[in-house]
């Protein structure tokens, strides 16, 4: 059962919680699905081991930085993970930056859940790291992700990251 101490943020419909070591199967269910990786140049996770390795990186983020990606569930079913969202600290051009991330099971698509979860994650990140810039790194071909970033208020700033993904920022947000 979900412990209240793990809740990172909540909305009317969603609970965002810090990741736990038992989340490997949920990471694989979402990240191993070819539909959720349609625009991912790395493709879906091929096996549970890949998802477990990524989960370990994300758990280290929480332990070392106190912020990271979250497991998302519906309030009506808090024990079933429907996706992942949140912000992860990294360096972009030598500047500490938060990367906004969202990936959900196809069962959650088309309901505004990704936007609702991302807004909650952004609000919480602003409370925890108010002076840290936020970006979304999005492949040019990923129109759904670009549209969501734009609905959230981010705009392509005319540059790409080293992997060629477009850098989306909030207007007026300068690189620190």
In a domain, 45, yes or no: yes
Question: Does 3 have pLDDT greater than 90?
Answer: no
d(CA 89, CA 57): 12
Q: Which domain holds residue 143?
A: 4-169
d(CA 145, CA 101): 10
In a domain, 105, yes or no: yes
Give 24's contacts (C-beta < 8 A, 6+ positions apart). Answer: 48, 51, 52, 55
d(CA 48, CA 37): 16
Three-state DSSP state, 58? helix
Phi/psi at 175 (nearest 5 deg)?
-70, 130
CB 133 within 8 A of CB 100: no
In a domain, 174, yes or no: no
Task: Using a pLDDT cut of 90, give the percent of the chain over it.
Answer: 85
pLDDT at 175: 55
Give tens-digit pLDDT for 16-40. 999 999 999 999 999 999 999 999 8
The widest CA-to-CA distance across the chain, in whole angstroms, is: 45
In a domain, 176, yes or no: no
Task: Using a pLDDT cut of 70, give the percent of the chain over it.
Answer: 95
pLDDT at 174: 60
In a domain, 69, yes or no: yes
In a domain, 152, yes or no: yes
Number of domains in the chain: 1
In a domain, 157, yes or no: yes
In a domain, 164, yes or no: yes
Give ∠ CA 156-105-82 in degrees, rounded to 5. 105
Give tens-digit pLDDT for 33-62. 999 999 988 899 999 999 999 999 999 999
Give tens-digit pLDDT for 77-115. 999 999 999 999 999 989 999 999 999 999 999 999 999
Q: Where residue 154 sits, what CATH number does that domain have?
A: 3.40.630.30
DSSP lists the bridge partners of residue 85 as 70, 102
């Amino acid at each position: 059962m979900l412990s209240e101490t793990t809740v990172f943020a909540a909305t009317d419909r969603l609970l965002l919680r810090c990741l736990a070591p038992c989340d490997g199967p949920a990471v694989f269910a979402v990240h191993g699905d070819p539909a959720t990786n349609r625009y991912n140049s790395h493709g879906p996770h091929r096996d549970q081991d890949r998802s477990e390795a990524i989960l370990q990186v994300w758990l280290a983020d929480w332990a070392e930085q106190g912020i990271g990606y979250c497991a998302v569930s519906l309030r009506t079913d808090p024990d079933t993970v429907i996706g992942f969202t949140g912000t992860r600290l990294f360096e972009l051009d030598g500047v500490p930056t938060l990367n906004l991330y969202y990936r959900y099971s196809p069962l959650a698509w088309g309901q505004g859940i990704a936007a609702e979860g991302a807004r909650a994650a952004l609000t919480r990140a602003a409370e925890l790291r108010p002076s840290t810039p936020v970006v979304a790194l999005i492949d040019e071909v990923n129109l759904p992700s670009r549209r969501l970033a734009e609905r959230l208020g981010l705009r392509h700033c005319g540059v790409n990251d080293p992997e060629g993904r477009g850098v989306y920022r909030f207007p007026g947000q300068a690189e620190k």
